[in-house]
A and B are shown apart, each in its own frame.
Chain A
């Protein structure tokens, strides 16, 4: 291999590294217009019977400080589904929004992730904590090559900081405690919400316009293969638009 070729390769690597850094630092953009913006609000409903919740025994995992864990796959109250991630999929015309500098928090407490589902703006920092007196591993899976990681998180370690450079649903799991998993919906704008325990969600400050709204739930990927339809919605200034979703479990 010639020296010239090596030099060219190293130059290319340096250039890549620089451009990488630039994109991570660009945090300027539009702020959410909370006075003139509209609101999208709705409820997530489960069609059909609620699947039985799965329970895991913590066994010899004394550091979890609990005997068992109920899976958070389906959290359903009176037919209303919690932990659904609702976001604007289309219609925002690639406008850039201000990325908050304060990190979103993800805690590992009693061998469960808090929260189970959360949303993040692309580039927003994420801080992972370990409140347990036991160790975990933080295993992130992303569809984007190179973004996935698997890190150790012993008890007493300082919070772990991270951020995402590609949109999508990211999975975090702990392979020590097989039941521990959570999901992070990463979108390039601030118009998203996660349904609460009553199945309710609300997205505020949406600029007036026509949008496609999409719902993601743990059951829409993987073996459940549940079906949710996307919604077309028209948002008007200072008005609230209803958008109820129903998940059909199979």
Chain B
């Protein structure tokens, strides 16, 4: 629905709508989508490096066995070097994409805050590259490796946000808001994103301290109860991720979903994203259980990392969309019962 159609008498809104039409640049949006997709793929490759314990198979950085990274001969991409080296190469490619994206936004984007998002993503990816190098040179300290995992997720979410706001449908916020609590879906999705992100950091910390099997059974602990004997730090962090975190994320996702379906079911994008989040959550818990049952087999473990990123991305999408719906609503751009009543009067 077009904003000018809703509010034909509001000249300011009409002006905004026409600038929106000028604003939408299909190639810029497609480029942002490609960047976000590549960020996601990079998280998967990074997950493979850790699953194969390949992080130190190339001891030097930014060089590779003394070679320039881009000229390191393919015949030497042997064993675990294959994972580490392709991660470095693909990361360089993603860094290039984000750099180009920042310049494209600077040149073709009209909204200054979107330009700033582009530069922020560039800063994030540069810091991410440095963290990656640091963790190699410092022999993978859990804090640096976990920070590298967390920042990777954050840059992915930022790329996703850029892809969203450069989209053609960004201005189409036609939901009639009937939610009684004005902060319901917004606060819930925000809290859920924070909790999921924390859960990913705890998961990374568990992974990089080799505590993934500190509680070797699931769903029950080896003592047959729900709570294991906390004999080590690994057991504690494992419990926080595999039990406490998993429960909190499930609870929050379903609470968010309840509000979305109750009050925002007419917003198709919000509803579909919520369904996707719930579906991914089911897949994620299954993958997590399989990871434990197979004693961290590479495929389920790495898919579990990627699915976690997908859930974070989906919930970020829900969060941004719900805040946007309300922001647009507050700016008087969408039909509400009050607005219609006001127009009729």
Contact = CB atoms under 8 A, between A and B. Distances in A.
Interface of A: 60-63, 134-135, 137, 139, 141, 148, 150-152, 154, 175-178
A135 B79 CA distance: 10
Given A63-B78, A175-B80, A176-B78, A139 B65 contact: no
Contacts of A177: 79-80
B53 A175 contact: yes
B139 A176 contact: no
Contacts of B58: 137, 152
Contact of A175 (B56, B65, B66, B76): B56
A139 B136 CA distance: 11
A112 B242 CA distance: 36
Q: Which of A154, A175, A178 has the most CB of B within 10 A?
A: A175
B79 A176 contact: yes
**A interface SS class:** loop
Considering the complex of A and B, which 10 residue pairs feature the smallest CB-CB distances, nearest first? A175-B57, A150-B59, A176-B79, A175-B56, A176-B57, A137-B59, A152-B65, A177-B79, A152-B59, A61-B79
Contacts of A148: 139
A178 B139 contact: no
Given A148-B139, A152-B65, A152-B66, A61 B56 contact: no
B236 interface: no
Nearest to A111: B79
B52 interface: yes
Q: How large is the interface on B (under 10, 10 to 19, 20 to 34, 35 or more residues)?
A: 10 to 19
Contacts of B52: 178
A150 B139 contact: yes
Nearest to B54: A175
B56 A135 contact: no
Contacts of A154: 65-66, 76
B46 to A, nearest CB: 16
A78 to B, nearest CB: 30
A135 B59 contact: no
A178 B53 contact: yes
24 contacts: A60-B79, A61-B79, A62-B78, A63-B78, A134-B78, A135-B78, A137-B58, A139-B139, A141-B139, A152-B65, A152-B66, A154-B66, A175-B54, A175-B56, A175-B80, A176-B57, A176-B78, A176-B79, A176-B80, A176-B81, A177-B80, A178-B53, A178-B79, A178-B80
A185 B52 CA distance: 28
A152 B139 CA distance: 13
Contacts of A151: 59
B78 A61 contact: yes
A148 B60 CA distance: 15
Contact of B78 (A60, A139, A141, A150): A60
Nearest to B63: A152
Interface in B36-64: 52-60
A219 to B, nearest CB: 17
Nearest to B213: A223
Contacts of B55: 175
